[in-house]
Structure 1
Amino acid sequence: MVDKIRGQDEKRLHKVFGGAADVFLWKDKKASAGVLGGVTAIWILSDVLEYNLITLVSHGLILALAVSFLWSNATTFINKSPPHIPKVDIPEDLALKLASGLRIEINQAVAFLRDIALGRDLKKFLCVIAGLWVLSLVGSCCDFLTLLYISVVLLFTVPVFYENYEHQVDSSTERAMAELKKQFAVFDAKVLSKIPRGPLKDKKNT
């Protein structure tokens, strides 16, 4: 029974993260550790040691190309096979799928913001304003690269934590949402319901 539930959880996470789910869930520990270690090294060099990111990438590419070039030419003298460099070719179907998915997400986000701007949902408006305010506070505390690094670390920790403690997280989230709805209902009754609004219906009928 536990294995069945865990299998359903993995399917759900795979649906969210796609092919990268195995990396985020640490199914392939070498790949996960390599990606997280590489991102951590880049963040330390660029943000902690204040090494310019463009310079870092350029120097890394110079080193990699120089080592590969010298190794490829040295193999003719030491009678060894040249290094195997895999050919990277992005499939057209994958590129179109990613572009289509990105287009759908952007359209949904624009439609969502349009509905809020038209004043159709006060609750969504307040939630978005609160979210943007929190984001501005986070942005004032750290730069974009640090925020990006924190997001990557969360991707490597939150899915694993949720996979192992899904029921506890779901129950806690349900209680928190119920309490939040309760408090918002009180706020709506005491504040929002007392805000005067224009007679839109009368204008439409006239």
Structure 2
Amino acid sequence: MAEEHKHEESAAESIIEKIAEKIRGYDDGSSSSSDSDDEKKASLSSLKAKIYRLFGRENPVHNVLGGGKPADIVLWRNKKVSGGVLGAATAAWVLFELLEYHLLSLVCHSSILALAVLFLWSNASTFIHKTPPRIPEVHIPEEHVLQLASGLRTEINRGFAALRDIASGRDLKKFLMVIAGLWVLSILGSCCNFVTLFYIATVLLFTIPVLYEKYEDKVDAFGEKAMKEIKKQYEVLDEKVLSKIMSKIPRGALSKKKD
């Protein structure tokens, strides 16, 4: 009996030791897997840091466009609304540009038609014993107007600050970029009127972001090559032309005035 009891105790101890070894092995495996997960995350983050994105973009295109419903409309997440907005812009361009219809005439004629239909319907409903039309109460909420005004004010102040920074002569590269952009806009303005220019901007807004989101890897790779080439050309221009021009500008008088 004593031998059987000892045999049972040794068997129980061996089982406990096996279970402990399995638990230790599991802990070691989990720690190694956690270490490997950390290494994978670190490698992914380093790879993301090495990938070139246009204009130094770090967030997805949806977040860059502000997120929410406006970004969904621009990126065609809601195809019915996006198609409706683009269709309305196309109809407006056809009316105002191709048919040479005027905005004030369109607003007045639409108002006349709507008021005439509602007026006749309201008076005819008493004779034909039907319910009159339900005309909804339209009012503009103050909160949305204040949010829009606040957003516009912030963006306008940023624009003024950027223009002031450029006019101060601190960044020659930014100055040349703005001058080139304004020159391109002046050429476009001379080729087409404001309605056509606004319609072209709307079409580009509804096509370029969604195409870029779809082919962003290829576009970013091409953009990286283009930016490298532009930097090389700018360095050559800076060395041969801009540095000579800046060296000829007298700075003594300006420094004395500042002192």
TM-score, scaled to structure 2? 0.67
Q: Please name the residue that 2:241 is paired with.
A: 191
Per-residue displacement from partner, 1:115-173 (whole Å, max 9, x unpaired)?
A: 22222221111111111110000000000011011111112212221221122222222
Supply the distance in 1 between the matched residues of 2:176 and 2:123 (Cα, whole angstroms): 63
Query: Which amino acid in structure 1 is aligned with residue 256 of structure 2?
Result: K
Q: Could you say if the C-alpha distance between residues 171 and 80 of structure 1 is closer, same or farther in structure 2, counting changes exceeding 3 Å?
A: farther
Q: Give the 5 Å matches for 1:1-206.
A: 9=60, 11-15=62-66, 18-78=68-128, 80-195=130-245, 196-200=248-252, 203=256
Contact 2:73-2:79 at 8 Å conserved across structures: yes
Root mean square deviation, CA, Å = 2.5
Aligned-residue sequence identity (percent) comes to 60
How far apart, CA to CA, are the structure 1 residues paired with 2:234 and 2:87? 42
Q: Relative to structure 1, is the Cα distance of residues 171 and 56 closer, same or farther in structure 2, using a 3 angstrom cutoff?
A: same
Structure 1 residue 80: Cα displacement: 4.9
Counterparts of 1:53 and 1:125 in 2: how far apart (Å)?
A: 37
The answer (yes or no) to whether the contact 2:61–2:209 under 8 Å persists in 1 is no
Unaligned runs of 5+ in 2: 1-58
Structure 1 spans left out of the alignment, 5+ residues = 1-7
Q: Which runs of 4+ in 1 moved over 6 A?
A: none
Whose radius of gyration is greater, 1 or 2? 2
CA contact (8 A) 1:13 1:159 kept: no
- Residue type of the alignment partner of 1:164: K
Post-superposition offset of 1:31: 2.1
The residue aligned with 1:4 is none
Greater alpha carbon shift after TM alignment, 61-70 vs 161-170: 61-70
Change (3 A) 1:13 1:123: closer
Quickly say closer, same or farther: Cα 1:64–1:21, change in 2 above 3 A: farther
